[in-house]
Structure 1
């Protein structure tokens, strides 16, 4: 099977498993970059059987040379392992060469958050009323920007102080109205 076709099959599998759109987009972007790299190295379309460990290592080395952080490359290794595990389970490859990739360690940065005083200062200095309202809403609810952008007045119950958050769904029958309370 051609690498490009295998990537399409894998992304379809992720959709069927109801992975988020962002996960599918990220995996697709990464695997397509891998495909482009390997096709350039092999001067044309590549079959799965033609890919060797040195191709995957070469891709990761190129990413490092382009300035990808250790955390990003660690994620790339994880995506490659997930992809190859899928291929191996489906008997599309004879062996899972990704297991021989060395893990990439990195120092996890501690997340920093604004103090209540800093948040108050930030909000006071926002002039645009819509941006100010959005910032206050996210600060007080924990909503993500993408969730806030999908919010409508029908999703807000002012009497019960509840907000209904819309989730991304691929199979609407599995999640009625594609909504969930948070």
Structure 2
């Protein structure tokens, strides 16, 4: 089967499994990159059954030497190919998954960033863009994924029950209570900042009717640099800070997991980041 035809079938499979739009888009982007590479190498369309382990190893070298991608990014391309070829095996287009024979690149563990409450206050005080400042507060006080916050509409705000309806991964919905600390930010934003923008989305600009994660991350980087912090603060770091600060306040990890929308508590533990001083304080209680 032609690679391009198999890719379209795989896309339908992912949609059938109700994978998120961003996940499907990511897989298709990775597979198109591999298809272009193979088409250039063999000067023509490729068939799934003709792909070899050597092809994939050479592709991984290409991603390193020509594209100069970081180890984590190269692994993502490899894992996308593995998933695609696993599907090809199930459909009996190929006998085995040749990508499974290629070892992933070793990735150095990056230090996870979790800001303290004091650092969150400093960050908010430094951000000049008013809509972004509210967005940062909104992300931190709700613990939402940035894509979840990006899609919050006014209909999702339930003032009577003091909660937000969140559409999470895999079309799973959950409610998040509106924190007392978020309320003044939300009221100020709706009254004085957002204005009459013709958009159903809470996080919106007059120009586009939406606020992108890229722009929030840009402003976070700028503010971090101004503060002189040697840490990579992103939208995802705000979600980790939300979880970690709740843990610091002795909130049960199962409740934190539910607020984050995790299906497994193991996933939640990845987000929790306590420093050595806090661990020392805890162990001294013995």
TM-score, scaled relative to structure 1: 0.87
Q: In the alignment, what sits opposite 1:130?
A: 131
Distance change in 2, residues 1:102/1:132 (3 Å) = closer
- 1:100 equivalent to 2:101? Answer yes
Note the C-alpha offset of 1:4: 0.7
Displacement of 1:27 after TM fit?
Answer: 0.8
The question of 1:181 aligning with 2:190 is answered no
Secondary structure of residue in 1 paired with 2:75 = helix
For the residues of structure 2 that align with 1:165 and 1:51, how far apart are their CA atoms? 41
Match of residue 51 from structure 2:
51
In 2, Cα distance between the equivalents of 1:131 and 1:2? 45
Counterparts of 2:100 and 2:154 in 1: how far apart (Å)? Answer: 49
Match of 1:31 in 2: 31
Which residue of structure 2 aligns with residue 78 of structure 1?
Answer: 79
Structure 2 CA distance, aligned partners of 1:37 and 1:125? Answer: 44
2-structure distance, mates of 1:30, 1:40: 16
Take 1:149 and 1:88, find their aligned partners in 2: how far apart are those partners? 37
| SS state at 1:31 partner | helix
**Conserved? CA contact 1:21–1:168, under 8 Å:** no
Deviations 1:13-49 (A, max 9, x none): 1110111111111111011100000011110111122
2:111 pairs with 1:110? yes
Tell me, in whole angstroms, the C-alpha distance in 2 between the residues paired with 1:99 and 1:127: 48
Q: Which moved more, 1:24-33 or 1:153-162?
A: 153-162
Indicate the SS of the match to 1:82: helix
Q: Which runs of 5+ in 1 are unaligned?
A: 170-174
Q: Distance in 1 between matches of 2:50 and 2:155?
A: 54
Secondary structure of 1:27's match?
helix
Q: Is the partner of 1:160 in helix, strand or coil?
A: coil
TM-score relative to the length of structure 2:
0.57
Match of residue 4 from structure 1: 4
Please state how far the C-alpha of 1:117 moved relative to its aligned partner: 1.3
What is the alpha-carbon distance in structure 1 between the residues aligned to residue 30 and residue 118 of structure 2? 40
CA 1:127–1:97: 2 relative to 1, 3 Å? closer
Cα 1:95–1:118 shift into 2, 3 Å: same
